[in-house]
C-alpha cells in the first residue's frame, strides 16, 4: 500500500489534552481528555487514548512539545480510529484544520529541529 502522506512525520511520545468542539470551535461540554502522541506531522497527529471518538469529530488539542514544554493549541478532525486491546485503548488519526499559519509553521520548525526521530516507512 502506497503512503499517501506528504508531510514528514516525527515519531515521538508527548502528553496532550483535548476537548471535543463544535463547528464554531466551542467546547460541546466541560470534559477534557488525556492522550499521548505516537507521531506528529504538520498535517496531523496520531494519538493514543482511552476515549473512543467518532470519525469526523472536531477536537481542540493542547500539545506539549520540547524540553520547555511549549504548548501548541491546534484544531483537528478525527479521520480514523483503530481499536486496541479489546477496545480499552484507541489509536486515532487527526488531521489538523483551520489553524493559523503561524501555528503550523511553529510546529514544522519543531519537527525539523527534531528530525532525528523521524518515522521511517
C-alpha 100/C-alpha 87 separation (Å) is 34
pLDDT bucket at 5, cuts 50 / 70 / 90: low
User: What global pTM score does this model have?
Assistant: 0.86
The torsion of the CA quartet 21, 108, 81, 117, rounded to 10 degrees, works out to -140
Q: Is the pLDDT of residue 98 over 50?
A: yes
C-alpha 20/C-alpha 94 separation (Å) is 12
Grid coordinates of 71: 504548548
- What CATH number is given for 15-116 in this structure? 2.40.10.220
Domain ranges of the chain: 15-116
C-alpha 60/C-alpha 15 separation (Å) is 14
Residue 78 near residue 94, CB atoms below 8 Å: yes
- The pLDDT assigned to 1 comes to 38
pLDDT tens digit sequence for 14-49: 999 999 999 999 999 999 999 999 999 999 999 999
DSSP label of 120: P
Amino acid at each position: 500500500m502506497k503512503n499517501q502522506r506528504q508531510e514528514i512525520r516525527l515519531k515521538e511520545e508527548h502528553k496532550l489534552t483535548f476537548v471535543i468542539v463544535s463547528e464554531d470551535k466551542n467546547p460541546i461540554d466541560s470534559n477534557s481528555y488525556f492522550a499521548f502522541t505516537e507521531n506528529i506531522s504538520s498535517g496531523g497527529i496520531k494519538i493514543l487514548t482511552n476515549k473512543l471518538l467518532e470519525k469526523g469529530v472536531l477536537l481542540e488539542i493542547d500539545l506539549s512539545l520540547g524540553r520547555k514544554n511549549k504548548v501548541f493549541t491546534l484544531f483537528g478532525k478525527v479521520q480514523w480510529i483503530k481499536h486496541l486491546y479489546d477496545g480499552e485503548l484507541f489509536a486515532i488519526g487527526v488531521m489538523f484544520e483551520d489553524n493559523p499559519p503561524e501555528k503550523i509553521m511553529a510546529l514544522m520548525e519543531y519537527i525539523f529541529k527534531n528530525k532525528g526521530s523521524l518515522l521511517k516507512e
